[in-house]
Amino acid sequence: QVQLVESGGGLVQAGGSLRLSCAASGGIFSMNVMDWYRQAPGKQRFLVATIGSTGYTTYADSVKGRFTISRDNARNTMYLQMNSLKPEDTAVYYCHIRKLGNDYWGQGTQVTVSS
């Protein structure tokens, strides 16, 4: 059974940094694309960043140059380093993986950026 557990969220002032982690269990994920999404109150879930099995990465325009996605396949863990945070980055952040045709989500971790 695939499980994803996010951690690392919190309250930070604008301009600050946070590092999110997503620990995956219940399988081998090194060949799977993994993503970070976020959802702000009253808004749809939004794709923030993607990392492929070979390490290629893509980012939403709103976070390019500020966020860095990475993964450690030996630890089945994905990360999101968030720098120069802005109040508009405030959201619940979710990790996601699609494996064998099924979508798996973590429970989310709250990131709040104060101005």
Query: pLDDT per residue over 3-53, tens digit each?
Result: 999 999 999 999 999 999 999 999 888 889 999 999 999 999 999 999 999
- The three-class DSSP label of residue 92 is strand
Percent of the chain exceeding pLDDT 70 equals: 100
* Distance in angstroms (rounded) separating the CA atoms of residues 111 and 64: 18
Burial per residue of 30-58, b for 16 or more beta-carbon CB atoms within 10 angstroms, e otherwise? eebebbbbbeeeeeeeeebbbbeeeeeee
pLDDT of the residue at 103: 95
Q: How far apart are CA 21 and CA 7, in angstroms?
A: 5
For 71, what's the count of Cα atoms within 13 Å in the CB-facing half-sphere?
A: 26
